[in-house]
Copies of this chain bind each other. A is one copy, B any other.
Amino acid sequence: MRISQLSAETGVPIPTIKYYLREGLLPSGEQTSATRAEYGEAHVRRLRLIRALLEVGRLPIASIAKVLAAVDDEELSMHRVLGTAHYAIAPAPAPRPDGEEWRRARAEADRLISGLGWRTEPWAPALDELAQALYALARLGMPMDEEALRPYARAAETLVEHEFGVLPLDGPRETAVETLVIGTVMHGRVLDVLRRLAHESASARFFGIEPGDDGDKAHTTP
């Protein structure tokens, strides 16, 4: 198909497609004349993947480029591709606090994760993120210890095991790798969104709010 059809098929404007081509996010079409290129189903699929990572995953273009380069690099193991996706999802690190209190929080994060029997690299960005959350919660007088963390850890573990259980490993590498990346990014978003909806629902139930009720009467009635 021509670029105009590719645009119609995916809803991505032509100038945006050209930008992705220039940035190497989308492989070139097959040049059929000096001014014409042909695109195929692989381009449609790749464009949808870019848009999903952008709009649902909220990844910056530079991170998407890194993830796609890893997906396309057939020398790279699945575990490494997934690692690249994890680094890309991790938000830019907040400035680390200094001093003893921070070092204790980071050591505590390491201890909690190895206590769960999880195998992660010590430089995984999520370990710093966990430490930062624990540090902030402790300073707010709401510390989370092993016990408090456990329900979250177990929920995460169960969901992730479920995801690996349905990974299509009998097909081509490309399918498995794409599924892994999409799962990492999109299912993480789905969980986050569902948690917020569950929270709203639990709050309505807990404080006895009826749908449409503004709830102002209820602020002291549990």
Give the interface of A toward B (CB within 8 A): 11, 45, 48-49, 51-52, 55-56, 58, 75-80, 82-83, 86, 89-91, 94-95, 97-98, 113, 118-121, 124, 126-127, 129-130, 132-133, 136-137, 139-142, 144, 149, 151-153, 155-164, 169, 173, 179-180, 182-184, 186-207, 209, 211-212, 214-220, 222
Contact = CB atoms under 8 A, between A and B. Distances in A.
A25 to B, nearest CB: 16
Given A75-B216, A77-B217, A195 B188 contact: yes
B126 A203 contact: no
14 contacts: A56-B129, A83-B215, A121-B212, A124-B197, A129-B193, A133-B186, A133-B193, A137-B182, A142-B182, A151-B162, A155-B191, A159-B195, A163-B199, A188-B196
Of the listed residues A86, A113, A195, A211, the one surrounded by the most CB atoms of chain B closer than 10 A to its CB is A195
A186 B119 contact: no
Contacts of A129: 56, 189, 193
Copies of this subunit: 2
Nearest to A55: B94
Nearest to A175: B141
B118 A197 contact: yes
A144 B188 CA distance: 13
A45 B88 CA distance: 33
